[in-house]
Amino acid sequence: MKRRSVWRSLIRVPIVGEFLRIANAYAFRGDDRNSRVPAQLRDWWGRIVRRVLGVLILEGLLLLAAVPFDLEPSQLARCTDLALGIFPDLLGFGVGIYALIFVFPKTFTPLLEKRRAEVGFGAEIVNVDIGYPVAVLAIGLVVASALTLFPQGWTTGALGLFVLLYGLAMVFELLAFLFVTLQVIIKHEKKEHQARIANNKDGSY
């Protein structure tokens, strides 16, 4: 009960609360329980924390590689400027992708349910696997904007680099999800087309 009460308090916080709602649904892989209870730690680990750690490791390697070049905090701060420059376009792209949900074929949801074992997910994951990357880009803009209010230093620069890398990682994850989803649709349409051709041939005799 204490865990649930803390969760309810957190999701009432403006901006942060909305992001946590989406992140929790993402961790839950779209399960209906996401609106009532927080996901288990293993779900957060598998879907979010592990990827965050991967981005942090990549960031650390990039910073180590930059050591021989005498990197300055002002140079690292360009990552924040870069995030502010490209995230609005990426966010628009993500919202446009989100809108595609409403024009998917009517057979799309039953198709995903039918091929759940094959593709590894059902229709409930579509909303969260598109919504979470879009939310990351939006919250990334908020964080990057806030970083510009502070003096340039190693801490703000490292945070800016993390925001940039994690946002880009989510864009690639979104593209990967769309690739798999479209593969399912194309495969299904191809089978239906071949079945129609076979039926037409049978009817011609």
- 62-109 pLDDT, tens digit each: 988 888 888 887 888 889 999 999 999 999 988 888 787 776 666 666
- Assess contact for 163 and 144: CB atoms under 8 A: yes
DSSP per-residue string spanning 41-60: HHHHIIIIIHHHHHHHHHHH
Which alpha helices (H) appear in 67-153, and where do they start and end?
73-76, 78-99, 108-114, 116-119, 124-147
CA 69, chain centre distance (Å): 33
Q: How many residues does the chain have?
A: 205
**How many CB atoms are closer than 10 A to CB 12?**
10
pTM of the complete model beyond 0.75:
yes
Q: Residue 141: pLDDT band by 50, 70, 90 thresholds?
A: very high
